[in-house]
Amino acid sequence: MIDDAVYKLTFFQRALILIFVIMGTAVYSSSILVASAILPKMQGAFGATQDEVSWTMTFNIVATAVVTPMTGWLADGIGRRNTMVWCSVAFAMSTFMCGMATSLEEMIFWRIAQGAAGAPLVPLGQTLLLDSNPSRQHGLITALFGMGNMIGPVIAPTVGGEVSDLYGWQWAYWMIVPFAIITAVGFWFILPTRSSRERTSLDWSGFLTLSIAIAGAQIVFSRGQRLDWFQSTEIVVMTFLTAVALYMFVAHSLTAKRPFIRLSLFTDRNYALGMLLVFFYGMLNFAPVVLLPPLLQAHANFTDTAIGAFIGWRGLGTAIGFIIAMLLPRLDARLMMMIGFAIQAYGGYNMMQFDLNVSPYLLGLNTVIQGIGVGLAWVPITVVTFATLKPEYRAEAMGMFHLLRNFGSSLFISVAVAEIVRSSSANYARMTESISPFNNVWSMPWATGAWSIDTIQGTAKVAGEIARQSAMIGYLNAFAMYALVALIAVPICLLVRLPKRDS
């Protein structure tokens, strides 16, 4: 068999690189899911609303999306090893400062710094693994990489929820810092270096216009519902800036000699379809871990420890999906992707059946099922997307790949939260119309049961229950959107062309 790996390394060196790359990316993914497990506690500590505290998640993902395309430039400019080392160091520092935050504004700032610092770790780490191993092993390596990445998401939310209950939400961040430092030291000693590097300059025009377009779109979808969409001058201005920045980015990228992102990569059929599929994948990836914690704690009375366990079970399901993908390497990649998205659609349908008395067993089982779908879809999407690209384009192409994944996550979270806020307020207004002494139902004890509006306390209890039920309707609408996105992705998988297998 031909060894077409870019780096000629021993088996022991390849194994060490795999271990430390997995550790680095697991630490980064842990920071996202740990934050989701303690969202309700941060909301209380900062006195924030649900959509405001969700900014700590969405802007972290936006920062990751903005910086991710810089991966190729950083790798060419300061070297792959230096990029991995210094990004790990910066990630450790910003994670520590997240725990030191005393206001929502500080937390959002350090979460942005955390996302920006950790952004290159996943795409560049995956590129190093592909370059360190022959192409015939890329499916196995991708499965191991993905399965290893679930170590953090499985353990961190559970441990983080327990730690936050015992010592405070700050320790959920601080417990990650030592592992980030160990990862930085490991990268320094085991990652290979190139004897010569091409000195490149950053295409600032492309970078800035893309950053403005991404950030502007995120702000529009995050704040649109609260500001009444286009009735707000801010939303109108941000929409205009987003459209102009996107147009300038595309026009510049098509005419520049060395653009920030090489749009010609999209002429590769599999890569273009892979970008679309990973965008849908991103929309489904983090949405449940952001939406479920506030619902479970604020309206279903679950503890942080229980919420962390449910998120951890999703990671366990993802690990199972990766194992299945690894054991079935010759299964048609299109079929594997379709099964993965179909399972996530089924998980979304199950969430649409939830109510405020959902049992822990049903909740845990559904999160595992969703995780299996995530694991099954990820491996074939990655392998098929990069199967026909030249190795020298991998770092840049991988950056764009993860950019769309992260942007899909932040976009869907913003849209889902906006729908929850809109639907909750609309349904609350509609249901309170029947709370009136002129409604004859309230004079029928056999119909009202223990509910009463004859006293202030009774009216307050009725209002609280209506608020819970109207919020639940909003969440059910968001879960329906989740299932719909997964269903839309299923037929797109059929358009992918499978790479020819080597004899």
**pLDDT tens, residue by residue, 298-320:** 777 777 677 777 777 877 788 78
Q: How confident is the model at residue 152 (pLDDT cuts 50, 70, 90)?
A: low
Residue-averaged pLDDT of the chain: 81
The one-character DSSP state at 169 is T
Tell me the per-residue pLDDT of 351-384, one tens digit each, with 9 for 90 and over.
Answer: 888 888 888 888 888 888 988 998 888 888 888 8
Nearest Cα to 209, choosing from 252, 163, 273, 168? 252
Q: Are 32 and 60 in contact (CB under 8 A)?
A: yes
Tell me the per-residue pLDDT of 252-263, one tens digit each, with 9 for 90 and over.
Answer: 888 888 787 788
CA dist 480 and 243 (Å) reads: 29
Q: What tokens does 80 get?
A: 């792959």
Tell me the per-residue pLDDT of 279-292, one tens digit each, with 9 for 90 and over.
Answer: 999 888 878 877 88
Flag whether 249 is in a domain.
no
**Taking 90 as the threshold, does the pLDDT of residue 490 lie above it?**
yes
Q: What tokens does 382 get?
A: 């990655």
Looking at residue 75, its pLDDT comes to 79
Residue 224: CB atoms within 10 Å:
21
Looking at residue 480, its pLDDT comes to 93
CA dist 201 and 434 (Å) reads: 65
Looking at residue 199, its pLDDT comes to 56
**Taking 90 as the threshold, does the pLDDT of residue 389 lie above it?**
no
Looking at residue 194, its pLDDT comes to 62
Q: Which residue has the higher pLDDT, 228 or 477?
A: 477
Looking at residue 503, its pLDDT comes to 36
Flag whether 60 is in a domain.
yes
**How many structural domains are present in the chain?**
1
Mean per-residue pLDDT, 461-488: 89
- What is the span of the domain harbouring residue 298? 11-191+260-427+468-495
Q: How confident is the model at residue 484 (pLDDT cuts 50, 70, 90)?
A: very high
Whole-model pTM? 0.76
Looking at residue 457, its pLDDT comes to 80
Nearest Cα to 184, choosing from 106, 257, 258, 121? 121
CA dist 292 and 289 (Å) reads: 6
Nearest Cα to 353, choosing from 467, 487, 469, 480? 480
Q: How confident is the model at residue 153 (pLDDT cuts 50, 70, 90)?
A: low
Flag whether 225 is in a domain.
no
The CATH number for 24's domain is 1.20.1250.20
One-letter amino acid of 369: I
Flag whether 246 is in a domain.
no
Nearest Cα to 276, choosing from 369, 384, 371, 116? 384
The residues, any chain, with a CB within 8 Å of residue 419's CB and separated by 6 or more, are 225, 474, 477, 478, 481
Flag whether 353 is in a domain.
yes
| Half-sphere exposure in the Cβ direction for 152 (13 Å, CA) | 25
Tell me the per-residue pLDDT of 49-94, one tens digit each, with 9 for 90 and over.
Answer: 766 777 787 788 778 777 877 877 787 778 888 888 999 999 999 9
Q: How confident is the model at residue 502 (pLDDT cuts 50, 70, 90)?
A: very low
Looking at residue 244, its pLDDT comes to 95
Flag whether 199 is in a domain.
no
Separation in Å, CA 332 to CA 106, 342, 360: 48, 15, 35
Q: How confident is the model at residue 201 (pLDDT cuts 50, 70, 90)?
A: low
Looking at residue 1, its pLDDT comes to 46
For the ranges 29-33, 137-141, 366-370, the maximum mean pLDDT occurs at: 366-370
String of DSSP letters for 35-49: HHHTHHHHHHHHT--
**Taking 70 as the threshold, does the pLDDT of residue 337 lie above it?**
yes
Q: Which residue has the higher pLDDT, 137 or 376?
A: 376
Flag whether 395 is in a domain.
yes
The kind and range of the H/E element at 479 are helix 456-492
For the ranges 149-163, 446-460, 466-480, the maximum mean pLDDT occurs at: 466-480
**Taking 80 as the threshold, does the pLDDT of residue 136 lie above it?**
no
Q: Which residue has the higher pLDDT, 218 or 320?
A: 320
> b/e map of 195-204 (b: 16 or more CB within 10 Å)?
eeeeeeeebe
Instruction: Flag the least confident range among 11-25, 236-250, 352-366, 451-465.
Output: 451-465
Instruction: Flag the least confident range among 12-21, 149-158, 404-413.
Output: 149-158
Looking at residue 53, its pLDDT comes to 79
CA dist 257 and 45 (Å) reads: 50
Tell me the per-residue pLDDT of 168-184, one tens digit each, with 9 for 90 and over.
Answer: 888 888 988 999 999 99
Q: Which residue's structure tokens are 């932040």?
A: 410
> b/e map of 231-248 (b: 16 or more CB within 10 Å)?
eeeebeebbebbeebbeb
CA dist 289 and 39 (Å) reads: 10
One-letter amino acid of 231: Q
**Taking 90 as the threshold, does the pLDDT of residue 485 lie above it?**
yes
Flag whether 362 is in a domain.
yes
String of DSSP letters for 406-452: HHHHHHHHHHHHHHHHHHHHHHHHHHGGG-STT-GGGG-HHHHTT--
Looking at residue 89, its pLDDT comes to 93
String of DSSP letters for 63-87: HHHHHGGGHHHHHHHH-HHHHHHHH
Tell me the per-residue pLDDT of 98-133, one tens digit each, with 9 for 90 and over.
Answer: 989 888 889 999 999 998 898 888 888 888 887 777
